[in-house]
Amino acid sequence: MNICYNPIMNQKSNMKTFITEETGRLDKVLAQQLDVSRNQIEKLIKEELVIVNGKYVTKPSFKLIEGDEIGYTFKEAEKRAPVDVDFDVEVLYEDDYLLVVNKPSGLVVHPAPSVKEATLVDWLVKKGISLSTISGEERHGIVHRIDKETTGALVIAKDNKTHEKLSKQLQDKSMGRYYLALIDHPLKEDVVVDKPIGRNPKNRLKMDVVAHGKEAKTAFRKLLTSEYNVELITAKLFTGRTHQIRVHLNTLGRHILGDDLYGFKSKRDKIPRVYLHAYLLYLIHPATGETMEFTAPLFEDMDSYTKKYFNTQEVNEKLEPKALKAVFGM
C-alpha cells in the first residue's frame, strides 16, 4: 500500500492545503503549485510530509484526480544538543531574504554525526537568524557548502522560497563563485579540467578522478607567479563536487599550499591550512531580480602570505572584480 493514515499530520499547525484542479502525478502537481523542484518535492513525500485526502502518500508518482485535497508541510528542525558558540563570523551582506558571510578556516558549515564542535549553522541559530528548512533539519539555510579549511563567501537562505530560487541558480549557473588559490608550482598554461570525481576507493577521506564518478569541470587561470615558484591562480567551478578544485589540480601535478591531503609537502606549522578562498560570489537576488556581486576579503594568514611573495599593487589589480572576471572572458 502506498497510502497510510497518519493522524499526526492533520494536527500540524503549519500544514497548508489546497484542492487540485488537475489530474496527474503528485510530485509534478505539487512542484508546480509550490514553484519548487520535483527533487525537493520527492524529499517531502518520502519523509511523510505530504497528505492526500487526509492520508499521507509515500510514492511521488501517486496519481491525483481533480478535486483531491493535498496537504504539505516542511520538515521541522530536530533539537541538537547545545554547543558553545564562542566565535563570530563576518557578515558581508544581509537583507530579509538572504545572508552572505565570509567563512573562516576551521569552521564546519553544518552539523553531522561526526561533528562535535559548533558549526556555522549553530552560529546562525544563536544569532536568531531566520533560516530555510528545505535542506533538512541540520542544514538550515545552507544553499552550498565550503570545505572546513576553505574560506570565503557563502550565501544563506532565510526562507524556503529563497532557497529554491538560489538552488535553481546554482543549476543554471546564474549563481557562482571565483576562487583564489596559492599553489606550489606554476601552471604551464590556463586550462580547463573536465574529469569525473568520486570517492577514492583506497582512502575514504579523499576524492579522486574515477571512471564512474560525477561530472566535474573546473577552469583554472594564472594570475601572478613569484620568483619562489609559488603562483596565485583563480578557479571557476562549473560543477560543485567535494574537493573539486583540489582534485583537479592534483591531476595537473599541482597542489594548493597547505593541502597535504592531496600531496603538498610542507610542515603544517608553517602553512597550517589549505590556502583556498571563495573570493567573488555572484547571484541574482531572488526577490528583486537584481544581479549582485560580493567580494570576501582574504583572511590574515593567506593575505600575509600573498603579500610576502607578490607585489601588493599587482595583487590588488588582479583581484579587482572586473579584472578577475575578464580572465575568464566574462
The three-state (H, E, C) secondary structure of the chain, written as one string: CCEEECHHHHCCCCCEEEECCCCEEHHHHHHHHHCCCHHHHHHHHHCCCEEECCEEECCCCCEECCCCEEEECCCCCCCCCCCCCCCCCEEEEECCCEEEEEECCCCCCCCCCCCCCCCHHHHHHHCCCCCCCCCCCCCCCECCCCCCCCEEEEEEECCHHHHHHHHHHHHHCCCEEEEEEEECCCCCCCEEEECCEEECCCCCCCEEECCCCECCEEEEEEEEECCCCCEEEEEEECCCCCCHHHHHHHHCCCCECCCCCCCCCCCCCCCCCCCEEEEEEEEECCCCCCEEEEECCCCHHHHHHHHHHCCHHHHHHHCCHHHHHHCCCC
How far, in Å, are 1, 63, 305 from residue 264 at the CA level?
A: 55, 55, 16
Record the cell numbers describing residue 273, joined without a space.
Answer: 591550512
| 26 and 45 Cβ atoms separated by less than 8 Å | yes
Catalytic amino acids?
147
